[in-house]
């Protein structure tokens, strides 16, 4: 296999791996762009819906209030009619009975009046809530617009960076021995997206965290042949102690 300038080859391979990892990261970010935008759009829509629901509630409350108002008027009219009748009664019994009727109508209307006041209070509160929600909406929508802008800008930059990385990949991979590149690809395939070339620090493989035998560690330090981790079988390189 590769010999001689093996250290240089490994450095180049590590460089290639960096390029590939960054490419994977950017592609995954780009894949998430439409999902992120969708989430933000939904957030805004949900906020709008809350305001609309509150406004629909106010319409309902107003209708409720008008119904009470007409009940109130009806009771007043009824009372007036009884008052008229009262002027032409003949007997005391009749008189007492009409007075009782007036009293009943007044009790009923006082209840209606209480309900109307409660209705007005609730309407007032709901209207205040709508005003404050609308105010909040301005902030939320401004934030969402700016977040969407940032996402689109990052996506644009990501695409530009991808094009750069593609060029880098071409030139860097061209410097690597084809046999080594093939080995690297095989290990990469086996490790599914994880690093294929890993550093060894203090005799520990940073791919699998297992200690290397001293003999292998010494050979790795010399750096004149390609070495693999005996545990995870990835390409290893010495990176200080
Ligand atoms: Zn390992």
What secondary structure letter does DSSP report for 91? S
What is the C-alpha separation between 38 and 32, in angstroms, rounded? Answer: 10
Ligand 1 center–CA 236 separation, angstroms: 8
Ligand 1 center–CA 184 separation, angstroms: 14
Sequence-distant (≥ 6) Cβ neighbours of residue 82 within 8 angstroms? 98, 101, 102, 105
What is the C-alpha separation between 133 and 127, in angstroms, rounded? Answer: 10
Of the chain, the percentage scoring pLDDT greater than 90 comes to 93
Ligand 1 center–CA 199 separation, angstroms: 9
Q: What is the pLDDT of residues 27-59, one digit of tens each?
A: 999 999 999 999 999 999 999 999 999 999 999
- The helix (run of H) or strand (run of E) holding residue 227 is strand 227-228
User: Are 182 and 160 in the same domain?
Assistant: no
Mean pLDDT on 12-36:
97
Ligand 1 center–CA 71 separation, angstroms: 85
Q: Name the domain boundary from 151, 172, 193.
A: 172
Ligand 1 center–CA 219 separation, angstroms: 16
User: Are 145 and 120 in the same domain?
Assistant: yes
Q: What is the pLDDT of residues 72-95, one digit of tens each?
A: 999 999 999 999 999 999 999 999
In a domain, 59, yes or no: yes
Q: What is the pLDDT of residues 139-160, one digit of tens each?
A: 999 999 999 999 999 999 999 9
Q: Which tokens in the block code for residue 186?
A: 């095989």
Ligand 1 center–CA 23 separation, angstroms: 24
Q: What is the pLDDT of residues 192-202, one digit of tens each?
A: 889 999 999 99
Of the chain, the percentage scoring pLDDT greater than 70 comes to 98
Number of domains into which the chain is organized? 2
Mean pLDDT on 102-131:
97
Q: Name the domain boundary from 172, 202, 228.
A: 172
Q: Which tokens in the block code for residue 61?
A: 């409350």
CATH number at residue 161: 1.10.287.1490
Ligand 1 center–CA 208 separation, angstroms: 4
Q: Name the domain boundary from 119, 150, 172.
A: 172
The answer to whether the predicted template modeling score (pTM) of the entire model surpasses 0.85 is no
Note every long-range contact of 79-88, with CB atoms under 8 Å and residues 24 or more positions apart, other chains counting. 79/105, 79/106, 79/109
């Amino acid at each position: 296999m590769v010999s001689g300038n093996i250290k240089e080859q490994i450095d180049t391979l590590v460089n290639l791996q960096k390029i590939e990892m960054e490419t994977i990261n950017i592609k995954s970010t780009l894949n998430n762009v439409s999902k992120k935008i969708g989430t933000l759009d939904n957030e805004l829509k949900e906020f709008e819906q809350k305001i609309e629901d509150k406004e629909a509630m106010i319409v309902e409350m107003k209708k409720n209030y008008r119904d009470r108002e007409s009940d109130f008027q009806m009771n007043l009219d009824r009372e007036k009619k009884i008052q008229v009748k009262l002027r032409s009664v003949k007997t005391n019994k009749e008189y007492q009975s009409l007075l009782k009727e007036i009293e009943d109508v007044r009790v009923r209307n006082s209840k209606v009046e209480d309900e109307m006041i409660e209705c007005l209070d609730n309407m007032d509160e709901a209207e205040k809530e709508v005003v404050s929600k609308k105010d909040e909406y301005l902030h939320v929508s401004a934030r969402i617009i700016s977040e969407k802008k940032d996402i689109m800008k990052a996506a644009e930059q990501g695409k530009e960076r991808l094009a750069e990385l593609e060029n880098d990949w071409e030139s860097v991979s061209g410097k690597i021995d084809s046999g080594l590149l093939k080995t690297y690809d095989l290990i990469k395939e086996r490790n599914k997206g994880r690093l294929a070339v890993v550093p060894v620090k203090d005799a520990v493989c940073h791919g699998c965290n297992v200690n290397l035998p001293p003999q292998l560690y010494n050979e790795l330090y010399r750096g004149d042949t390609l070495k693999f981790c005996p545990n995870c079988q990835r390409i290893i390189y010495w990176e200080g102690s």
